[in-house]
Copies of this chain bind each other. A is one copy, B any other.
Amino acid sequence: MIQKLIDGIQKTGAPIVVGLDPMLSYIPEHITKKAYEQYGETLKGAGEAIWQFNKGIVDAVCDLVPAVKPQIAMYEQFGIEGLLAFEKTVRYCKEKGLVVIGDIKRGDIGSTSEAYAVGHLGRVQVGSKEYYGFDEDFATVNPYLGSDGVKPFINVCKKEKKGLFILVKTSNPSSGEFQDRLVDGRPLYEIVGEQVAKWGEELMGDSYSYIGAVVGATYPEMGKALRKIMPKSYILVPGYGAQGGKGADLVHFFNEDGLGAIVNSSRGIIAAYKQEKYAAFGSEHYADASRAAVLDMKEDIASALAARG
């Protein structure tokens, strides 16, 4: 799956993942209105609105990017109906040839981590039958519980040829509260990064590992250090755009080969029509605005990479 991701990045020239994190406030009124007419102002109505909104964006950008990253929390908040929209979105994106990174940030101990891994990346056994659950291609994982929480995910990845992005340094302002604490003079995120590199050795693709890392665009200097610590790990970089990360900040996350990083933008793409810059599209054409935002982001990253020489 890591090779499919890399092939997609090379084919599109866009190391970009579109974060499908729909909030109801992002969804144009013509979509919510129709969904509520059909199902009322209910959880089912919300699920339908989210699904229709996503479908529009996916149709508009699927030829431009290699991957999407649905944030499961944004679906889970609507309970079962929201999770049905998540499931539908994952399936549709895969049909469109996109790599799907489930942003689930799960992490637990032993058999419990195994259950999450099976439910999101693998197959669960029921009697003599096996079933895929949510069936994403990659999942994000929280490492706080240590190796025996992460290993079950790695084992399922080995079996299914799927991958992980493990939280190392997150993009939020208070990520440093624990992640930056100095351990023997070095920040904890570096220790976690070293461990990610080690875990990654167990499951190598051609040039990169199936086990990647999450490092926020908002911390470019740390990205630079982590890039060296985990040379074979793909870095999923959130925090571009709405959270403040800029193209020039991103270059540190890429290797010399121009690979090694994939940058996420959620709000900046899916709610682009709400920005002044793309307002001319109007809410009816929100998906075209998203397409324009992807093209601008691609250009921004390409210029920054070109400028580093």
Contacts and interface: CB of A to CB of B under 8 A. Distances in A.
Given A146-B177, A178-B191, A183-B181, A76 B108 contact: no
A108 B243 CA distance: 14
A178 B143 contact: yes
Contacts of A265: none
A195 B183 CA distance: 18
Contacts of A133: 43, 76-79, 82
A276 interface: no
Contact of A79 (B74, B82, B131): B131
Interface string A253-278: 00000000000000000000000000
A150 to B, nearest CB: 9
Contacts of A76: 115-116, 119-120, 133
- Please give the count of copies of this chain that the complex contains: 2
A178 B146 CA distance: 6
Interface residues of A, number: 72
A20 interface: no
A303 interface: no
Interface stretch (A6-14, A166-174, A281-289): A166-174
Contact of A144 (B45, B106, B143): B143
A211 B242 CA distance: 31
17 contacts: A23-B111, A73-B112, A76-B120, A76-B133, A79-B124, A82-B119, A105-B106, A105-B107, A142-B144, A143-B178, A144-B170, A145-B172, A146-B176, A146-B178, A148-B172, A149-B172, A182-B184
